[in-house]
A and B are shown apart, each in its own frame.
Chain A
């Protein structure tokens, strides 16, 4: 059983540029989550998909952020017009709708905005 994978692992971009991250969940997991983590803090929820439907978005997810999960498989998170405050680790997690609530995390994408 391969785990959650994320690509790229690291991204350095200049302020104002757009970036896109990809997450491939564990196969057969129908729920997918995006979190953001800054240094010294725990992950903060951004958004959640069940299959291809985006069911919940955090107030943290400004209109510069958009997430998709076409066909209910992999997901992408795009940040437009990046700001220095967007620098963080972006984590993806997945789980399956069987009554087990634990979420399995990927290795994360470290974004640095210069």
Chain B
């Protein structure tokens, strides 16, 4: 059965303390992996799409990487405004719907 697992469930960082969030997947025929940010009470906001192992994408303090089994979201020198839940999702084969993990709730303390 296809699975998307995110770890840790929650992460508290001091401002400026870099870290990584993990998304591991067991999906046959992966077509793409997506990262979203979700603030409380709001819909997910698209961040990155990764299509092949070795691919990297960057945006401000965030960098996403992809291997054949997992993806990492690296956060460099985070700020309090980076506090949010980060969701990972996969798209497989000819399917159109995304399969999401449960997310990592990130809190950055000033």
Contacts and interface: CB of A to CB of B under 8 A. Distances in A.
A107 B46 contact: no
Which of B89, B91, B100: most chain A CB closer than 10 A? Answer: B100
Interface string B29-46: 001101010000111111
Interface residues of A, number: 28
A104 B97 CA distance: 12
A83 B49 CA distance: 36
A44 B42 contact: no
Contacts of A91: 43-44
A12 to B, nearest CB: 15
Contact of B103 (A42, A44, A103, A104): A42
- Chain B residues touching A, range: 20 to 34
A63 interface: no
A42 B42 contact: no
B53 interface: no
A42 B41 contact: no
B42 A43 contact: no
Main secondary structure of the interface of B (DSSP, over half): strand
Contact of B96 (A41, A43, A56, A104): A56
Contacts of A4: 43
A56 B97 CA distance: 9
Nearest to B4: A42
A25 interface: no
Interface in B51-104: 87, 89, 91, 96-103
A93 B31 CA distance: 19
Contacts of B43: 4, 6, 91, 93, 105-108
Nearest to A91: B43
A43 B49 contact: no
Nearest to A6: B43
Interface in A32-74: 33, 35, 40-45, 48, 50, 55-56, 58
Interface of B: 4, 31-32, 34, 36, 41-46, 49, 87, 89, 91, 96-103
Given A93-B43, A110-B41, 7 more contacts: A42-B100, A42-B103, A50-B96, A91-B44, A101-B34, A104-B46, A107-B42
